[in-house]
Amino acid sequence: MSAEQNSPLPAEAAQPNQAFIPPAALVEFMATDWIDRPSIAQPHPQAQRFAQRRAALSQANRGIYVVVPAGRERVRANDTFFRFRASSDFAYLVGNGEPGAVLVLEPDGARHRSLLFVLDHNRGTPEFFTDREVGELWVGRHRGVAESRNYYGVDDCRSLKRLAGYLHELRDAKYPLRVMRGHDEEIDRVFERSDGDAELAEALSETRLIKDEYELAELRKACAITKLAFEDAARAMRTATSERAIEAAFWSRARIEGNDVGYLTIAAAGDHACTLHWTHNDGRLSPGELLLLDAGVECDSLYTADVTRTLPISGRFSPEQRAIYDLVWEAQRAGIEAVAPGNDFLEPGRRAARILAQGLIDLGILKVSLDEALDPDRLLHRRYTLHGVSHMLGLDVHDCAKAREEAYRYGRLREGMVLTVEPGLYFQPDDGTVPERFRGIGIRIEDDIAVTSDGAENLSAALPSKAEEVEAWLAR
């Protein structure tokens, strides 16, 4: 039965676009005789860690107000929403939160006070049973103001109903202020954009480049659950006839043991694997073809894995598939070996590209020298490799995206960074430069690599990747 059919309101109130004004007697009746529920006394397990992060942000923004929204719910269809996920910047500083929540760091001498705006309880008010977006009868009990202050460990906590007036006071007083933009359109409209906003975004992204022990543990957990989800998908592949069955098997594990998938699952069978971000997942699984599964589980902490395996649907690679697969695997090994503190971020990609380009030459697909293929003014191998080999990983699948290029893309690897290594080869089904026997083959292998003090840790190594190991794993 739908929520509208099961509505506690009169029938006319459950119709779209019709305001319901409850009679006074109903408001009075709904406001009384509720039993107090115990508060959630325990603070967030990482509250002290979040406080330290806020303190570091405070030191970098002395005398400046800092506004970090969690974001709002996004409409999926008419009056239904996508499942809410707090913005990564908010989660990094506070933890996962409810829609509309906003963190403000208020200057207080040489430091800042942390002020959090949250949804408050609304039992005893009309919105408790009439507001489908925030009414606790509709969406469940909010943590509330008092509990949120204790749970998140902030200095002060206030109702979201006071946020608009507070922000307008800041604007009208012309206090120095920086806003994390792109998370809440209403807040973005209150304040004029400034250079300081971009500096704040850069600083947070660059801070998040280095993962602490808690973050590394969460990423290990995400990879461990992702391994189980790949196993579920592999089992489903034995009888599945559609890409959607693979997606569903993976997603089930993500929801049971994590928060969700970290990004839309790519379950690309046959020549769909030649489309880099194939998320339609509406194709058929055919014996003798390959399945490229690019997927990652997001933990409740919002840290996500990002792993790719290319699997033979029938359990064994054909000679043509194996030739390409082994080439990609060798390129990935070279890329992973280049992950070490002090190396350029781009070095894993350079080493992988060299192996892929030479392999393309050996296969007779590229008919130039290796130097010509890799020449920055030509890059002919990119017709078949298409994408870069690495990106940072963390709260976002493409993490720290607002960091300056000199700190990220053109920076050096440092202990605590986590990045993917994911070379691939893609031979389009209609590419006349490719021998017919290879056309329609798309292969990518991806692992999540943490930079250690003396090298690297493969966080997703428990999932087989070498061809014979993949075949043995599928047979089991």
pLDDT confidence of residue 31:
84
Residue 446 annotated as catalytic: yes
Place of tokens 């107090």: 36
Whether the per-residue pLDDT at 8 is higher than 60: the answer is no
Please report, for the chain, the start and end positions of each structural domain, with discontinuous segments joined by +. 11-207, 213-475
pLDDT confidence of residue 37:
78
- Which 3 state secondary structure label does DSSP give 77? strand
DSSP 343: S
Whether the per-residue pLDDT at 9 is higher than 60: the answer is no
Listed in sequence order, the DSSP H helices in 60-194 are: 88-93, 127-130, 136-139, 145-152, 163-173, 185-190
Residue 426 annotated as catalytic: yes
Range 11-207: architecture per CATH: 3-Layer(aba) Sandwich (3.40)
List the single range of 32-41, 279-288, 412-421, 427-436 with lowest mean pLDDT.
32-41
The model's pLDDT over 80-129, given as tens digits with 9 standing for 90+, comes to 999 999 999 999 999 999 999 999 999 999 999 999 999 999 988 889 98
- Given 28, 74, 79, 255, the catalytic residue: 79
Range 213-475: architecture per CATH: Alpha-Beta Complex (3.90)
Q: Which one-letter amino acid corresponds to residue 321?
A: Q
- Which 3 state secondary structure label does DSSP give 248? helix
Residue 142 annotated as catalytic: no
Pairing of β 111-118 and β 156-159:
parallel
CA distance 334 to 318: 24
User: pLDDT category, 18, cuts 50, 70, 90?
Assistant: low
pLDDT confidence of residue 19:
63
- Given 306, 396, 399, 447, the catalytic residue: 306
List the single range of 21-35, 232-246, 295-309 with lowest mean pLDDT.
21-35
> 213-475: same fold as 11-207?
no
The predicted model gives 152-174 an average pLDDT of 97
Query: Which pTM does this prediction carry?
Result: 0.94
- Given 294, 298, 396, 399, the catalytic residue: 294
Whether the per-residue pLDDT at 14 is higher than 80: the answer is no
